[in-house]
């Protein structure tokens, strides 16, 4: 019998034992918060961004970084649950927003204790993802980070961008009419 010729489709490479990439450290760069101008929030103005250069860097071992992330995520979860509990209490006191209540208006996040939160019932990994922030919170974050003047024109620019993204393509049917085609006038292929 004649031995089979080796396949050119599947060339087996000899395995190199012990040649793997291993990470031992994580470097975290910290940036100051700035008004963004590079992202488009789903509603409102005042996009969040960061300074062009970091102001601090820290190195962590993998286990330290994992622990740090878990603590940070748990704090974010606690704050989120605290805000939800405050909203629920205010709704109860105002009978679902139908009756004004001075007591409801006076409630703050400090009135919601850790004992009122069911943090243990929520898996942090299941919860944690980037949450959209309302405009008021974004503006408060910018001010807390030292941004003195928030550009008010950004609101109109972001609104115009959101509106333009709703309109995609052109109005051509079957054949492209370059004189009236928005795509052709923008220098792109007819959509």
Name which of 131, 130, 132, 88 is nearest 109 in CA terms: 88
Domain spans in the chain, listed from the N-terminal domain onward: 25-158
User: In this predicted model, what pLDDT tens digit does every residue of 20-75 receive, in sequence order?
Assistant: 888 889 999 999 988 887 788 888 778 888 889 999 999 999 999 999 988 888 88
**Coil, strand, or helix at residue 48?**
strand
Least trusted range by pLDDT, from 11-20, 44-53, 107-116, 162-171: 11-20
pTM over 0.85: no
Contacts of 68 (CB under 8 A, 6+ apart): 60
Highest mean pLDDT among 17-26, 65-74, 77-86, 128-137: 65-74
């Amino acid at each position: 019998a004649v031995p089979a010729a080796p396949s050119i489709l599947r060339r087996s490479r000899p395995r190199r034992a012990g040649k793997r990439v291993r990470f031992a450290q994580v470097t975290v760069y910290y940036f100051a918060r700035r008004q963004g101008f590079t992202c488009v929030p789903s509603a409102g103005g005042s996009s969040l961004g960061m300074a062009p250069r970091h102001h601090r860097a820290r190195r962590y071992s993998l286990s330290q970084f994992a622990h740090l992330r878990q603590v940070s995520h748990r704090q974010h979860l606690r704050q989120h649950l605290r805000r939800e509990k405050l909203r629920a209490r205010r709704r109860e006191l105002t009978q679902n927003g139908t009756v004004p209540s001075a007591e409801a208006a006076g409630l703050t996040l400090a009135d919601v204790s850790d004992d009122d939160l069911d943090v243990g019932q929520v898996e942090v990994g299941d919860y944690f993802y980037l949450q959209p922030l309302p405009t008021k919170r974004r503006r408060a974050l910018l001010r807390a980070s030292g941004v003195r003047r928030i550009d008010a024109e950004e609101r109109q620019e972001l609104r115009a961008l959101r509106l333009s993204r709703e309109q995609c393509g052109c109005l051509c049917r079957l054949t492209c009419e370059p004189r009236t085609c928005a795509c052709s006038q923008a220098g792109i292929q007819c959509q």
